[in-house]
Amino acid sequence: MPDSVKVRLCFHDRCFDGAVSAAIFSRFYRERINPGAVFSYTGMTHRAVGPFEEGLFDGDENAIVDFKYSSSPRVTWWFDHHQSAFLSAADAAHFRSDRSGHKFYDPSYKSCTKLLADITSSKFGFNIQPLSELIHWGDVIDGAQFATPESAVALTEPATQLALVIEAAPEAGLVPRLIPELGQRSLADVVKLPIIAKHLGPLLERHKRSIELLRQRAQAIGPVVFFDVSDLDLEGYNKFVPYLLFPHCRYSVGISASPVRTKISIGSNPWNPDADEKNLASLAERFGGGGHPRVAAISLDPSQIERARQVAREIVEELRN
Could you tell me if 78 and 131 lie in one domain? yes
Tally of residues, the chain: 321
Domain-terminating residue out of 148, 179, 194: 194
- In a domain? residue 214: no
202 belongs to a structural domain: no
- Report the pLDDT value the prediction gives residue 49, as an integer from 0 to 100: 62
Residues in the chain with pLDDT < 70? 1-3, 47-49
SS3 256: strand
Question: 158 with 63, same domain?
Answer: yes
pLDDT tens per residue across span 123-170: 999 999 999 999 999 999 999 999 999 999 999 999 999 999 999 998
* 135 lies in some domain: yes
Residues near 134 by Cβ (< 8 Å), separated by ≥ 6? 20, 23, 24, 113, 182, 183, 187
Considering the domain architecture, whether residues 162 and 223 belong to the same structural domain is answered as: no
The pLDDT, as a whole number, for residue 238 is 92
Cα first-last separation, the chain: 57
What's the pLDDT at 47? 67
Residues 175 and 282 in one domain: no
Number of structural domains (the chain) is 2
Domain extent for 50: 6-194
pLDDT of residue 293: 92
What pLDDT is attached to residue 273?
A: 81
- Give yes or no: residues 227 and 185 share one domain: no
Name every residue whose Cβ is closer than 8 Å to that of residue 61 and which is 6 or more positions away in sequence. 5, 6, 7, 8, 29, 37, 76, 77
Looking at the structure, do residues 98 and 228 belong to the same domain, yes or no? Answer: no
227 & 190 share domain: no
Answer yes or no: is 213 within a domain: no
Asked if the structure places residue 209 within a domain, the reply is no
Same domain for 115 and 12: yes
Answer whether residue 200 is part of any domain.
Answer: no
Query: Domain containing 290 — which CATH number?
Result: 3.10.310.30
**Same domain, residue pair 258 and 171:** no
For residues 12 and 123, state if they share a domain. Answer: yes
DSSP calls for 72-92: -TT--EEEE--TT--SSHHHH
Q: Do 134 and 20 contact (CB within 8 A), yes or no?
A: yes
Contact 237, 214 (CB under 8 A): yes
| Other beta carbons less than 10 A from residue 235's beta carbon | 20
Q: Are residues 54 and 178 in the same domain?
A: yes
Q: Is residue 156 part of a domain?
A: yes
Whether residues 94 and 56 share a domain: the answer is yes
**SS3 assignment, position 65:** strand
pLDDT of residue 31: 97
CA 152 to chain centre: 16
21, part of any domain: yes
The whole-number pLDDT of residue 316 equals: 97
Task: Report the CATH number that the domain containing residue 33 is assigned in CATH.
Answer: 3.90.1640
Closest CA to 219 of 146, 82, 316: 316
Q: Which of 194, 210, 234 is the last residue of a domain?
A: 194
